[in-house]
Amino acid sequence: MDYTCKNCGNTYADELGVCPSCGTPVESKATDAQQPFADQQPDFQQQPNFQQQPNFQQQGYQNAYNPNGYQAGAPVYNQNMVMQPRSRIAAGLLGVFLGAWGVHNFYLGFTSKAVTQILVTVVTCGIGGLWGFIEGIMILAGSINADANGVPLGQ
């Protein structure tokens, strides 16, 4: 027996239970004796309509798990970070008084150079400390005017 859907007007067979065109449930004329599990049928009105879901890729939305498009394992750097300038006077005084131990180079970010200054000072029994003293004077005089990140020294 064929039926006509109240929602879309298409003809369908009652045995489907749902209109094949629009998904509207069939109002069956059968009694409860003919359909003993009628109350256990799924509610098709509450099923999601997948054709109406937005396509986030076409609309330009970013992935919630990968908001900036970075690939897995790629380091993320803050490109907008502003570096505060290091003090020229502090770096120069550290070089003059503690230059033998490379403290001024640690302060400016030149870690490998600072470790080298420590090794030279230890191996030469302190004579290599002149290297740090001279660098301290050069910083105060303005010959060395940037830290390891290239940020100019402030006052």
Digits of tens for pLDDT over the chain (155 positions)?
667 777 777 776 666 667 777 777 766 554 445 555 555 555 555 555 555 555 545 444 444 555 555 555 555 555 566 678 999 999 999 999 999 999 999 999 999 999 999 999 999 999 999 999 999 999 999 999 999 989 999 98
C-alpha of 15 from chain center:
53
pTM: 0.49
Rounded Cα distance between 47 and 89, Å, is 71
Other CB atoms within a 10 A radius of the CB of residue 117 amount to 25
Dump strand ranges (E) for 10-143: 11-13
Closest-CA residue to 91 (of 113, 80, 76, 106): 106
Q: Are 14 and 20 in contact (CB under 8 A)?
A: no
Under a CB-based contact definition with an 8 Å cutoff, are residues 101 and 132 in contact?
yes
Q: Is 48 helix (H, G, I), strand (E, B) or coil?
A: coil
Query: Strand locations in 1-155, DSSP E?
Result: 2-4, 11-13
